Structure formats: structure tokens, C-alpha cells
Amino acid sequence: MSRATRTALVRDDRTAYEAAAGAAVGISGIVFVVGLATLLGVVGIDDPVAGLELSVLFGVVLLALGVTVVGFGMASRLGYVDAAPQPSAGIVAAAAFTGIWFAVGAAVSGAAGIGTAGRLAVGAVLGGSAFAVTAFPREDVGSTVPVGAVAGLCGLSLVVGVIGPGWEQALVGYNATLFGDTVVPVVVLFTSLVTGWSAAKAYGGFGARGRNVGAYVLIYLVVGSILTVLVGLVAFVTVRGLPGLFGGFSVGGASLVSWPFLTNGAGLTADVAGVFPALLGTVWLVIGAVLFAVPTGVGAAVFLSEYAEQGRFTGAVEVATNGLWSTPSIVFGLFGAAFLIPRFGNQKSLIAGMLTLGFMLLPLVLITSREAILAVPDEYRDASAALGVSKWKTIRSVVLPAAIPGIATGVILGVGRIAGETAPILLTMGGGVLPGKSAAPDVLGGFQLSGSPPFVSNPALLEATSALPYQLYALITAGLSGNIENPQEFAWGLALTLLLVVLVFYAVGIATRYYFRRKLHQ
């Protein structure tokens, strides 16, 4: 009788075991979250919980988890439960545990004051035995015993207090000291990850299914942490920035809404310092970059996808576009400084910033527009051609309208990206740290005609102008101080404003995409 049929059909006796394994996964998850909270300083590792110090409690729980995990493995190995373990835990797990135990050996012997050669030797011995224990026995032993050993060691050292509150270890030559406050949470986080993975494998009955569950637990955890970081970042900036952003905000009165942070400059006359000049600078910057990059990018995309034959020229343009896309922003800044500034009055200016950001926006627009145009079905073009419509008319009245949603999405997301760029405008546009309201650029009213070349000029475009990201940088380099009431609050308000401007672009771009996609599928 083959093992596969036995495990697939007889599942009743595994319910208690599965429940225990599920509980172990859950407890590991809880330990992970609490460990994260201690790392972030929400709880202290010496806080008393149920009569014990938190770090000791951590140790007890980890020890118990380690014993349980080994118990799962043994129960499966001795045949008390039906599982489908494979002959070996696999080379990936073996390599991982070799690495872990090598590090443990090296760290522990290092703390015991053994020299480099000794540390390497201890690490190698421990790593080698971990490899043997993981790779050679059957999977249920190989993926539980090394885990149990890790959890047991960490748990014991926490219970006994080898590592704990007040523990410290100077890293000689590294100019740093490790404290219990940071090491304990890190150890706890790591150990709970390992026990969680092992318990999840046991829950799946080892074998292919066990590996599936184990891997999924880790992947869900990764995605969960990424999203937590994202939400945490935005929430953090929002909470810190709201007081600055809404300082002096009022509804009603002479003007319907009074929002001094967005409508004031930072001069002495303003009672609430605001970011108006930088906000207007960012707006003009975006407009200028869009005016340059969008027609150029869309035109190039039309030519590449409708007119050009696939060949060396299109290949070169593609390589150049992708190359420009990945060129670091600071290199664009250097380019703008070397190429544009000497040609626009030899000083940092709004128009140099606009064009530099335009150069950065160009590949983004080109790539997304090209994708959007290529996504228009060929039937559209054929139908139009069959009606006797010329090629250009087909492009203008059939292809481009159908591609507009994709192009618009790409442009909006690209604008969101360049609106927050600091490095290029740092080198090309400059501006003051805390500009007064009079420093806001007056582009529309600035155009002048003159009798000498270039006949049209606009001083507003040729002046150094501030923008939101640049002003934030300038504030940081000025040490978050300045001639205003509360520079810290001001800077956080500025950061929130910048974040909101960028996120609004992203939200609009993503919403556009969903709207048109749903319309397409109707």
C-alpha cells in the first residue's frame, strides 16, 4: 500500500495534532508581533507581565515552542500521527540552518572571548552538525530538531538571563555596543519566525503540503510586514504633520476657508509661516515638465509603434529609453547643471528645473504610452483602414483616443514620481530655505517682449525658485532651525504636504486605471 493513498484518505486521527500545530503557529505569530512592539519601544523588555519580566516570559514561551516543535517531529517520526514527510528536509533548509548555527556558534564563542580562528572553528562545528541533522534524517526530524535547538537555546538564555534587560556587549573595533533592549527583541523576532515556519510545516503534515503551508506562512508574513510599514509610514507622517498643516486653519469669516500654511510665505510679516512659494514652485515645475515631456513622449511612442519598422533604430531608442529610466536622479541633476544652467542665464532657475524634470519624465511617459498604444487591438486599425481612412487619420481618430486612458495613467503616475524628486532640482533650481510670499514665482505675468534676441523673456522662469522637496531638504541641512516659530512642526507639516501632493497624484492615477479597466470589461 502506498503512503500517498494512506495520507490522503485517513485524516481523522490528525485533528488534535493539527490543532496543536495550528496553535503553535498562532503563538509564534503573537510572539512575533509582541517582539516587534518591544523593538519599536512600545513595551519595555523589563515590563512585568503575569509576575514575570517580559524577556523571561519570552524565554519561557520560546522554550515551550521549541519543545512542542520537536514533539511534532518526533510524533511524526515515531508514527503516532500520519504525515507524509520526504526523505530529507532539502538543501535549502539545510543551508539555512547551517548558516544560522554557524552565526550562533561564532557569536556565542565571540562573546566568550575566543579569538577569530576559534570563533570560525566553533561556528564551523556547529554549522556542520546543523547541516547533518537537517539534511540526513527524514524531513520530519530534519525540519524540527534544529529549530527546537535554536528556540531552546534562545529561550534558555532569556529565562536564565544570559541575555536580558541591562545586558550589554561592546563590539570592539566597531564603535558600537549591543544592548539587551535591542538584542532581545531581535532574537525573539527571529526565533518566532523559525518556530512558526516549522510548526506550519508540521500543520501541513510535512512533505509537499507541509512545505506549501510553511512557505505560505512566511510569504504572508513578508507581505503583511511590507503593508504594515507602508501604512505605518504614511500614518506617522500624517500624525506628526497635521498640527503644522492645520495651524491657523479656519472655516468661515471673510474668505470662506483660511488655510495659512498653504497660502502664506515664511516671512516676518506672516503670523503663521507657510509653504506657499514652494507649493507654487512645485506646481509650476510639474506643469513645465509635463509641457515638455508629454507631447514629446507621446509623439515618440506614436512613431515607434505606428510608423517605425522594428530595426536597429527602434532597438537603440528602446535601450536609450530604458537607460534613461534607470539613470540616477542626481545624474540628471548634474546634466541639468552642466547643460541647462549655462544656457539660461548662468544661475539656478525655474526653467532649468522644469526641463531637467522633463528629461526624467520623458522615458516614463514614452514607456507607458507605447504600452498603451500597443494594447489597442489591431482590429481597430484594420477596420479603419478598410473604410479607406488614411494612416494618420486612423492614428488620430482611432488609435490615440483608445490609448488615452493608458497614457493618462502613465503620465499621472510619472508626475507623482517627479513631483517628489529632490536631487535634480537641488542642483538646477535652488531657492531659499524659508522664502517669503513675494518669492513665489509669477510665471503668467512675467512674460516680456524685447527688441534683442531671444525677443521673449520671462524673469520668473530665470530665477532660483523653491519647491516642496527642496525646501524640506534645505530645512534639514539648516538643522531644522530658522526664523519661524516652530521649525520642527513646520518641517513635519511640509513633509505631510509633499506626501499628500504625491499621493494624490498616485491615487488619481490608480483610480483612473481602475475606472477605465472596468469600463473596458463591461
Partner 1 sequence: MSLTNTTTDWRAGIERRLTRTREFLDETDPEALTVVTVSMGSLLAAFLGFLLASPWAAVPFGAFLTATGYGWARHQALIARAVTLAMTTVTLVTLGLIVVFIFAESIPAFRYETASAFGISVPGLGMFAQPRWDAVSEPVRYSLLPMIHGTVMVTTIATLVAAPLGVAAALFIAEIAPPTVRELVKPGIEVLAGIPSIVYGFIGFTVINPWASGAFDLNGGSTYLFVGIVVGLMALPTVVSVAEDALTSVPDVMKHGSLALGATDWQSMTSITLPAAFSGVSAAVLLGVGRAIGETMAATVMLAGIPRISEPLVNVFYGYETLTSLIARGYGSANGVHESALFAAGVVLFVTVLCLSIGSQYIEARMRRRLGGAE
Site for partner 1 in 350-379 (CB under 8 A): 359, 362-363, 366
CA-to-CA distance for 259 and 274, rounded, in angstroms?
9
Q: How many CB atoms within 10 Å of residue 25?
A: 22
Cis amide linkage into residue 454, ω under 30° from 0? yes
Binding span for partner 1 by CB under 8 A among 121-129, 142-150, 195-203, 214-222 = 214-222
Contact stretch for partner 1 (CB under 8 A) within 72-80, 135-143, 227-235, 272-280? 227-235
88 binds partner 1, rule: CB under 8 A: no
Window 138 to 197, contacts with partner 1 (CB under 8 A): 171, 173-179, 181-182
- Of 167 and 303, which CB lies nearer to partner 1 in the complex structure? 303
| Out of 156, 324, 389, 404, the residue judged to bind partner 1 by CB under 8 A | 324
- Chain positions 409 to 448 lying near partner 1, rule: CB under 8 A, are 413, 416-417, 419-423, 426-427, 430
Judged by CB under 8 A, the residue of 23, 33, 49, 230 near partner 1 is 230
Nearer to partner 1, 67 or 517 (CB): 517
* Closest by Cα among 51, 54, 32, 29 to 43: 54
Q: Select the residue interacting with partner 1 from 388, 456, 519, 521 (CB under 8 A).
A: 456
CB of 243 to partner 1, least distance (A): 15
Binding flag, residue 478, partner 1 (CB under 8 A): no
Minimal distance in Å, beta carbon 304 to partner 1?
A: 6
Q: Is residue 44 at the binding interface for partner 1, with CB under 8 A as the rule? A: no
Per CB under 8 A, which of residues 90..149 are in contact with partner 1? none
Calpha distance 90→457 (Å, rounded): 71
Closest separation in Å from C-beta 492 to partner 1: 8
Helix H or strand E segment including 392: helix 391-394
Pick the closer one to partner 1 by CB: 61 or 490.
490
Q: Comparing C-alpha atoms, which of 293, 285, 243, 283 is closest to residue 488?
A: 243
Q: Which of 343, 382, 383, 397 binds partner 1 (CB under 8 A)?
A: 343
How far apart (Å, rounded) are the C-alpha atoms in residues 122 and 334? 51
* Side chain identity, residue 158: L
Work out whether 11 is an interface residue with partner 1 (CB under 8 A).
no
Binding mask 277-296 toward partner 1 (x if CB under 8 A, else -) reads ------------------xx
Of 31 and 423, CB closest to partner 1: 423
CA angle 474-475-477, nearest 5°?
65
Which residues does 380 contact at the CB level (< 8 Å), separation at least 6? 398, 399, 402
Contact residue for partner 1 among 236, 268, 383, 481 (CB under 8 A): 236
Which range, of 17-25, 139-147, 270-278, 474-482, touches partner 1 by CB under 8 A?
474-482
Among 48, 91, 115, 392, binds partner 1 (CB under 8 A): 392
The span of 10-18, 24-32, 141-149, 299-307 binding partner 1 (CB under 8 A) equals 299-307
The residue among 129 and 371 lying less far from partner 1, judged by its C-beta, is 371
First to last CA, the chain: 53
Closest CA to 298 of 372, 212, 196: 372
Q: Is 499 in the site for partner 1 (CB under 8 A)?
A: yes
**3-class DSSP state of 177:** strand
Considering the complex, state which of residue 80 and residue 313 has its C-beta at the smaller distance from partner 1: 313
Using CB under 8 A as the binding criterion, the count of chain residues that bind partner 1 stands at 106
> At 168, phi and psi to the nearest 5?
-150, 150
Interacting residue with partner 1 among 42, 377, 454, 522 (CB under 8 A): 454
**216 lines the binding site for partner 1 (CB under 8 A):** yes
Distance in angstroms (rounded) separating the CA atoms of residues 266 and 245: 14
Residue 452 is a binding residue for partner 1 (CB under 8 A): yes
- C-beta of residue 345 within 8 angstroms of C-beta of residue 462: yes
Query: Strands, E, within 429-484: which ranges?
Result: 448-449, 456-457
Q: Pick out residues in 393-412 that bind partner 1 (CB under 8 A).
A: 393, 395-396
H or E segment at 211?
helix 207-245
CA dist 185 → 68, 297, 476 (Å): 21, 50, 31
> Please, are residues 358 and 289 in contact by the beta-carbon 8 Å criterion?
yes
In angstroms, give the least distance from the CB of 67 to partner 1. Answer: 27
Q: Is 484 in contact with 490 (CB distance < 8 Å)?
A: yes
Closest to 491 in 3D by CA, of 233, 284, 229, 261: 261
**Smallest distance, partner 1 to C-beta of residue 30, A:** 22
User: Which of 411, 442, 418 shows the shortest CA–CA distance to 333?
Assistant: 418
Record the cell numbers describing residue 94, joined without a space: 539545510
